[in-house]
Amino acid sequence: MSKHPWWRGAVIYQIYPRSFQDSNGDGVGDLAGILSRLDYVAALGVDAIWISPFFSSPMADFGYDIADHRAVDPLFGTLQDFDHLLARAHQLGLKVMIDQVLSHTSIEHAWFQESRQSRDNPKADWYVWADPQPDGTPPNNWLSIFGGIAWHWEPRRQQYYLHNFLESQPDLNFHQLEVRRATLDNVRFWLERGVDGLRLDAINFCFHDRQLRDNPPKPAEKRNGRGFQADNPYAYQYHWYNNTQPENLDFLRELRALLDRYPEVTSLGEVASEDSLATMAEYTHDHGLHMSYSFELLTEACSAEYIRATVTTLESRMPNGWPCWAISNHDSKRVMSRWAGPNPAPHQASMLSAMACSLRGSYCVYQGEELGLPEADLPREALRDPYGIAFWPNFKGRDGCRTPMPWQDTSTAGFTTGRPWLPIPKEHRPLSVACQEADPDSPLQRFRRFMHWRKQQPALRWGCIHWFELSAPVLVFTRQWAEDKMLVIFNLSATEQAIPLPEIKVQEVLTGHGLVEGRLEDHVCHVPGYGAWFARIT
């Protein structure tokens, strides 16, 4: 098994530092807190951790607005704290991936502070600046994901600067060679420190259209964007010109060339484009990224037909590239609220994680997913996310998936000795780690058993995938690696499903995976509601 790069078929556990574990009582999680919980993470059976941004930042977007790419924000600790975390993770056999936000910076970054001063300073063209139209309006119709126009006026230059996200997150000008060099130098700093991989935030946003052409309007019936709600004005356009430009491919090859100097280091790109599956395939082709993922399984859609169609479409476009799947993260409503509804079965959470982990590719699991946490319903006054504040009440933002990790059934959940930066939802307390440790059938225990079982299944980690199309609410497919061929069935419904298997020769029914199991009777597999069935076949 060791001949494969570690990241192929890996399960990567995403840690949102603010909400994982607070070590100093200020109510905000930190690097020392993560270090104190690494034994728990390793015991889950995952292969790596991905740590969301912990760099110096004014926290307008909670770390995704970076003011210094090489410094740890004091809120999270020090570089020495990171080094200790990295060393301990490696002792436990965990790889460490970190977020890299390349397309934009904070408005407080030294580069921007210099660039905004004049049109002739050394960094004058390091950001995307443009003159107003004759009537003083912005140069084109581009919109920000977080609402409103994507341009902000700078009186010192008498120009607008581009911000695809918050106005305090100006976009870098990647058409400028020095910007690309400086960006790669920042990446090199962390590679030299010993990280095992990079999760690349909004990686398709690095380049913009040089001509600043207007984005065309999108018909109302097609405003079903990925990663943002349909009533956001951002969904009213085809985003052909403000991101996903062809020049980005050359930059990704430059980035890959740098990464290839560090054995076993990997890259995982986040993609949100007009055709994310096509972009994922393009970005992982011809010495591009190692892996990519998109928002295709982070939507409300959860039918067997939708999941099968999404995976088969990507497979047809990416026969040689390597995908990474995610059904929850820090930007989306928790999967148990999106896909399981108000009264989920206790074992549904582990089934959904197992389903995603059984697709061809790698998998990112978001902290708390192993506990089956639902989305927190926070009152308006508790919101911290600028996205949710801007779109209240139709959209409550991302705070509902970012509440602190419940370690104990207490008022502060064992997360902090102070006041947590977001409230602890009362419905999370009985789902705490401490509560679930004692129950062998809890989502946590089932999750652990599946992850450890999966490590022993080469077909699930590296094998090709072939789908069976059925009208029932089930996913049926095979995974095959060399001579090891596995039949996999997941029942996405609450009622038992009977799946005829007349043409399939079952060699061995596989058990020990921790999920609610089906049974085989007279060439028919009976799979309980939210259950699964695995078998070796010939």
Angle between helices 443-454 and 348-357 (to 10 degrees): 20
Residue 223: the pLDDT is 86
Contact 205, 104 (CB under 8 A): yes
Which residue ranges in the chain fall short of pLDDT 70? 1-2, 225-230
Q: Which helix (H) or strand (E) holds 479?
A: strand 474-481
Tokens matching residue 108: 């407080």
SS (H, E, C) 277-346: HHHHHHHCCCCCCCEEEECCCCCCCCCHHHHHHHHHHHHHHCCCCCEEEECCCCCCCCHHHHCCCCCCCC
3-state secondary structure 41-56: HHHCCCCEEEECCCEE
**Residues whose CB falls within 8 Å of the CB of residue 149, separated by 6 or more in sequence, listed in order:** 138, 141, 142, 143
Contact 408, 427 (CB under 8 A): no
Cβ atoms within 10 Å of 280's Cβ, excluding its own: 28
Cα four-point dihedral sign 452, 453, 458, 462: negative
Predicted local distance difference test score (pLDDT) of residue 230: 57
Contacts of 6 (CB under 8 A, 6+ apart): 47, 48, 95, 196, 264, 266
From 3.40.50.300, 2.60.40.1120, 1.10.1040.10, 2.60.40.1180, which CATH number describes the 463-537 domain? Answer: 2.60.40.1180
Phi-psi region at 114: left, alpha or beta (left = phi > 0; alpha = psi -120 to 50): alpha
The pLDDT, as a whole number, for residue 1 is 45
The residue among 175, 128, 176, 119 whose CA lies nearest residue 152 is 128
To which residue do tokens 């490696």 refer?
Answer: 90
Distances (CA, A) of 158 to 62, 165, 455: 29, 21, 58
What is the CA angle 154-159-160, rounded to 5?
75
Look at residue 528 in the predicted model and tell me its pLDDT: 98
Question: Which of these, 201, 205, 273, lies nearest to 51 by C-alpha position?
Answer: 201
Any idea which residue has 């904070």 for tokens? 106
Three-class DSSP category at 390: helix
CB contact at 8 A, 191 and 259: yes
CATH architecture of 11-103+175-208+243-453: Alpha-Beta Barrel (3.20)
* Amino acid at residue number 33: G
- Whether the full predicted model's pTM is greater than 0.75, yes or no, is yes
Q: What is the pLDDT of residue 229?
A: 62
Task: Name the nearest CA neighbour of 426 among 382, 370, 367, 376.
Answer: 376
Q: How far is CA 259 from the centre of its chain?
A: 20
CA atoms within 13 A on the CB side of 506: 18
For the annotated catalytic residues, the residue numbers are 201, 270
Query: Cα separation of 189 and 170, whole Å?
Result: 22
Distance in angstroms (rounded) separating the CA atoms of residues 444 and 350: 8
List the end-to-end C-alpha distance of the chain, in Å, as a whole number: 22
Q: Where are the domains of the chain?
A: 11-103+175-208+243-453, 463-537
pLDDT at 341: 79
490/487 Cα distance (integer angstroms):
10
In the chain, the amino acid numbered 492 is: L
pLDDT at 425: 96
Question: Nearest 5 degrees, angle CA 432-CA 331-CA 433?
Answer: 10
